[in-house]
Every structure is written in C-alpha cells, then in structure tokens.
C-alpha cells in the first residue's frame, strides 16, 4: 500500500507524534528525557525546525513545530532516531529499534488553531491522569510557555508572540487560556487530523494546500470517532 503524502510546507506549523514500538516506554529515567531534549535541540537546529511546544510522555512524544524546508521534519526525525536510539541501546544494553514506524503528523492553520494545538499537547499529562494540572508535569513546554522558564529548545511562533508585548504578559495571557477546557469535539478533530495526516484548518486553507502540493487532502470526520476506533493521546 503506498504511503500517504505528507503535506509539510516551509513556514507552516505542523503537529507531529511518535510512539514507542508496541506502545512500550521510550523514557525510563529523568536523564533519558533530558537526553531526548538535547537530541531534539541539536537535530531541530541542524535541519531547520522551529519547536513551539512539546510533551514527552512515557511511551510517546508530541511536538508542534515549523519547518524551514519541505524535508526538514523528516530529516529531523531521522537524526533523532539515530542519536537517541543509539543512546538508549548503549545505556540499557539493548538492540533494535525503539519507535513504531514513521512519525505521524499534520499541518496546522496557525491563525485558527496554533494556540489550541499547543494547549492540547501540554494538557496530555492531565488527560492521561498523571497530574491534575500541566504545571505539575516537568517534561512539557508548559513550564516555558505559561510559567516563563527559559528553554533552549523552544522558538516562539507569531500567534504566541501577539499575546503580549513582554514575556511576562505573553505567559499570563497564555496561562489564562487554560482556564477554559478544550471541548470534546475539538479534541477529537485534533486527534483525527493527526492520525489521518489531514491539515487542521479551514476549508480554504485545505484548498490552498491542495493547490500548492497537487495532492488531494481528504477530510477528517467531524464529531466523535466510531466505537472501537484507535486514537492517539
């Protein structure tokens, strides 16, 4: 079966996801999370990806990023795959792969959905029942985007920057967004778009992408998924 086309475009944000093989852990100790972030920083800088948000869960990762070229995201993941898997295999005396196939991803219309996807990513540990508030989880970008901690990994995107004229004002405005829940339909649309690779945005945005890429996009099914359907966290 042929692979679905990627719709990544330079300058357009993308929500990407990668999970451990057979849903097994990819992080085992705190130092592993730190090493992944080092690999992410190094690979993103080398291959031209601006990271806007992330969460590192026990057996998967979510990233929101903007590629500088069409192939930036694929090259970044290949680089992380080599470096981080080598680190894990050497440290824990194992061999073989760590990740479950290719990463999943979809592009995001920034003016409509970027801050929503950022919140979705950083709320992942809350939805998983690991913490009651995203501030309690160490391995996400929330500590930087909402609490103002410095981060060598992140680069602010325009939709985040317009929240305020100073870093403190932006953090306060972004943090206030978490006072409102992401409704169920929005969550499912984000998940379905990610799983299917369908661009997340307006119909006009999708039509523009189809015109640029020459590929038919297809559309995510709105509303809750069918019973038994598999969706990502």
Tell me which residue of 213, 22, 195, 196 sits closest to 99, measured CA to CA.
22
Distance between CA atoms of 122 and 133, rounded to whole angstroms?
Answer: 10
- Confidence grade of residue 80 (pLDDT, cut at 50, 70, 90): very high
Residue that the structure tokens 């501030």 belong to: 135
- Model confidence pLDDT, tens digit, residues 129-160: 999 999 999 999 999 999 999 999 999 999 99
pTM of the model: 0.91
The 104-107 sheet, strands edge to edge: 49-56, 60-67, 14-19, 104-107
- Which pLDDT score is estimated for 6? 83
Residue 220 has pLDDT above 70, yes or no: no
Distance between CA atoms of 97 and 82, rounded to whole angstroms?
Answer: 10
**For residue 207, how far is the Cα from the chain centroid?**
23
Q: Give the 3-state DSSP-derived string for 127-191, with helices as H, strands as E and coil as C.
A: HCCCCCCHHHCCCECHHHHCCCCCCCCECCCHHHHCCCCCHHHHHHHHHHHCCCCCCHHHHHHHH
Q: pLDDT > 90: what percent of the chain?
A: 84
Which two structure tokens, joined as six digits, stand for 201?
């945005």
Q: Which domains does the chain have, with CATH numbers?
A: 14-195 (3.30.70.1290)
């Amino acid at each position: 079966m042929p692979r679905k086309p990627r719709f990544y475009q330079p300058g357009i944000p993308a929500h990407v996801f990668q999970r451990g093989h057979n849903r097994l852990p990819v992080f085992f100790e705190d130092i592993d999370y730190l090493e992944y972030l080092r690999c992410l920083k190094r690979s993103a800088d080398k291959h031209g990806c601006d990271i806007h948000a992330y969460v590192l869960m026990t057996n998967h990762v979510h990233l929101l990023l903007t590629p500088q070229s069409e192939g930036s995201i694929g090259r970044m993941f290949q680089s992380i795959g080599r470096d981080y898997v080598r680190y894990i295999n050497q440290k824990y005396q194992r061999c073989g792969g760590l990740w479950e196939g290719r990463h999943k991803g979809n592009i995001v219309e920034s003016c409509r959905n970027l801050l929503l996807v950022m919140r979705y990513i950083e709320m992942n540990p809350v939805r998983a029942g690991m913490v009651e508030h995203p501030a309690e989880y160490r391995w996400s970008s929330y500590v930087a985007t909402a609490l103002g901690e410095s981060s060598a990994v992140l680069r602010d995107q325009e939709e985040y920057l317009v929240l305020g004229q100073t870093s403190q004002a932006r953090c306060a405005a972004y943090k206030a967004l978490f006072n409102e829940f992401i409704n169920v339909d929005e969550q499912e649309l984000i998940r379905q778009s990610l799983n299917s690779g369908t661009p997340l945005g307006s119909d006009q945005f999708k039509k523009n992408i189809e015109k640029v890429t020459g590929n038919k996009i297809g559309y995510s099914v709105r509303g809750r998924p069918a019973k038994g359907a598999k969706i990502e966290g």
